[in-house]
Amino acid sequence: MFQNLQDKLDKALHTLKGKGQITEINVAETVKEVRRALVDADVSYKVAKDFTSIVKEKALGENVITSLNPGQLMVKIVHDELAKLMGGEVAELKIDDNPTIILIAGLQGSGKTTFSGKLANFLKTKKNKKVLLVAGDVYRPAAINQLQVLGEQIGVDVYADLASKNPVEIAQAAIAQAKQNGNNVIIIDTAGRLAIDAEMMDEIRRVHQTVNPTETLFVVDSMTGQDAVNTAKSFNDVLNYNGVVLTKLDGDTRGGAALTIRTVVDKPIKFISTGEKMEALDVFYPERMADRILGMGDVVSLVERA
């Protein structure tokens, strides 16, 4: 894909060769190719459009460096802008409150329960925390068992109340137990829900208001397409979450949803999930994500050669 976009850009810009600057005329076709590449990577149509106009501004009048042809220079500009957009300040998880309450939210099947287990495991083994996992999904068949199995695997306690159908009550009772048992981190797993399901969104709003979490994390499948823009925004409107978790990045998705989400809600991506095992958790690298969305493995080496 890197070659692909590169070739297309070279072609679009070939009239420019030998000239010293990128100009309006030849940038138009290039911008179209970049936009297409982004949309192919599942970046939202509107976000891709806005992004390419920023790129266009940047590119116009840019001096062509001798070692880069105009196509390469264009790729470099796109890559740098993308990485900049996705990065920003390093977003550490706040875990100093005692207890630290972390609320996990997202669509059905995005990877919330698995991530809850991974995060518990990470905080236990790397940060020396005494974690309590809370089974707040009272709907999905065997959701509670699933969290209990994971808790057992990693040696972390799980609070569950099979008799209750009320996630607010469950969360409150769990917090009380955590205080008694000296747990310093509480991770609340919740049921998957659609952003347009008013009743379910109201439920998580009530959980959020009641427990007042230190961190609320929005878990999203990295294979998500154009809908990322709606979902990320709606969940943010209700929860004003602190960070995003991108899952299933062990696949071969380009992951354009990352750019979409970053742009529409301006919240940092705090973790990435890269497998089904409890250890498959990683921090987020903006540069790598930019390369991935553009489908280019070695833009870095290209840029370094410049």
Partner 1 sequence: EKSKSSFFDKISRAVVGKSKVDDEVLDDLEEVLISSDVGVETTVKIIRRIEERVERDKYVSTSELDLILREEIAGLLSENNIEDTNGFTIPKKNVPYVIMVVGVNGVGKTTTIGKLASQFKANGLKVVLGAADTFRAAAVDQLVIWAERADVPIVKQAMGSDPASVAFDTIQSAVAQNADVVLIDTAGRLHNKVNLMNELTKIKRVMQKVIPDAPHEVLLVLDGSTGQNAFEQAKQFTQATEVTALAVTKLDGTAKGGVVIGISDQFQIPVKYIGVGEGINDLQAFNKMEFVDSFFKRNN
Q: Among residues 113, 133, 139, which one has the least CA distance to residue 200?
A: 139
Q: Which parts of 77-116 interact with partner 1 (CB under 8 A)?
A: 107-111, 113
The structure tokens listed for 159 are: 């609070």
Give least dist CB 143 to partner 1, A: 8
Where does this chain touch Mg ion (CB under 5 A) — which range of 8-16, 36-44, 104-112, 155-163?
104-112
The yes or no reply on residue 195 touching partner 1 (CB under 8 A) is yes
Q: Which residues pair with 215 in a beta bridge?
A: 102
**What own/partner pairs with CB < 8 Å and gap ≥ 24 does 83-88 have?**
83/286, 83/287, 83/289, 83/290, 84/286, 85/51, 85/259, 85/262, 85/263, 86/258, 86/259, 86/262, 86/269, 86/286, 86/289, 86/290, 87/286, 87/287, 88/268, 88/286
The yes or no reply on residue 110 touching Mg ion (CB under 5 A) is no
The yes or no reply on residue 140 touching partner 1 (CB under 8 A) is yes
Using CB under 6 A as the criterion, which residues of the chain lie in contact with ligand GTP when the complex forms? 106, 108-114, 137, 140, 143, 191-192, 194, 247-248, 250, 273-276, 280
Which partner from the list Mg ion, partner 1, ligand GTP, none does 120 bind, CB cut-off 5 to 8 Å by kind?
A: none
Give least dist CB 276 to Mg ion, A: 12
Of 112 and 262, nearer to Mg ion (C-beta) is 112
Q: Out of 44, 100, 113, 183, name the contact with Mg ion by CB under 5 A.
A: 113
Where does this chain touch partner 1 (CB under 8 A) — which range of 12-20, 249-257, 264-272, 286-294?
249-257
To which H or E segment does residue 134 belong?
strand 131-136
To which H or E segment does residue 245 belong?
strand 243-247
The yes or no reply on residue 114 touching Mg ion (CB under 5 A) is no
Q: Which residues pair with 45 in a beta bridge?
A: none
DSSP string for 42-102: T--HHHHHHHHHHHHHHHTTPBPPTTS-HHHHHHHHHHHHHHHHH--S-------SSSEEE
Query: How many of the chain's residues bind Mg ion (CB under 5 A)?
Result: 2
Query: How many of the chain's residues bind partner 1 (CB under 8 A)?
Result: 45
What x-and-dash track marks residues 262-301 binding partner 1 by CB under 8 A?
--------------x-------------------------
In angstroms, how far is the first alpha carbon of the chain from the final one? 21
The structure tokens listed for 108 are: 């059905």
Tell me which residues touch partner 1 (CB under 8 A).
36, 39-42, 44-45, 107-111, 113, 139-143, 145-150, 153, 194-196, 221, 223-227, 230-231, 248, 250-254, 256-257, 276
